[in-house]
Copies of this chain bind each other. A is one copy, B any other.
Amino acid sequence: MLDAIDKHILALLQRDATLSVQSIADQVNLTTSPCWRRIQTLEAEGYIQRRVALLSRDKLDLGVDVFVFIRTDQHNDEWMNHFARTLDALPEVVEAYRMSGDVDYLLRVVVADIKAYDRFYKRLVSEIKLADVSSSFAMESMKYTTALPL
């Protein structure tokens, strides 16, 4: 299990992975050696999965979020595997969830504009058999964080 210092280290790293071991050590009141050892352990045990760069949606002209609500009448394994592989292969799909309730799947899709979404949509429905697809556009992203609540 994690103690308060480990949690503190994780909280710092999930906000900024460029922090040097030195500055993390300072902030959690440790010297570099034990702090470095803790980070190694957290990485080895899988608490830290990866370190990534977050890019600018604006700069890259990918300003549109579309939520796609999917209903299907297919529930066999073969179809589900095909569906999962198709989603993996589509880079515009940044999130996909199997849902409870009346909607079977929920996707978040990132595209440049409505035309780009239309192209994506056509490709999606051509590759998978879906009973019902409805799309909802986000007007504004108010919050987006990769930081988990610790």
Contact = CB atoms under 8 A, between A and B. Distances in A.
A95 interface: yes
Contacts of A17: 17, 51-53
Given A17-B52, A98-B139, A149-B92, A59 B84 contact: no
A147 interface: yes
Nearest to A95: B144
Contact of A149 (B47, B56, B67, B110): B110
How many subunits of this chain does the assembly comprise?
2
Interface string A53-90: 11111111010010100000000000000001001100
Q: How large is the interface on A (under 10, 10 to 19, 20 to 34, 35 or more residues)?
A: 35 or more
A53 to B, nearest CB: 4
A54 B49 contact: yes
Contacts of A143: 84, 87-88, 93-96
Contacts of A103: 136
Interface stretch (A8-16, A26-34, A125-133): A8-16
A125 to B, nearest CB: 18
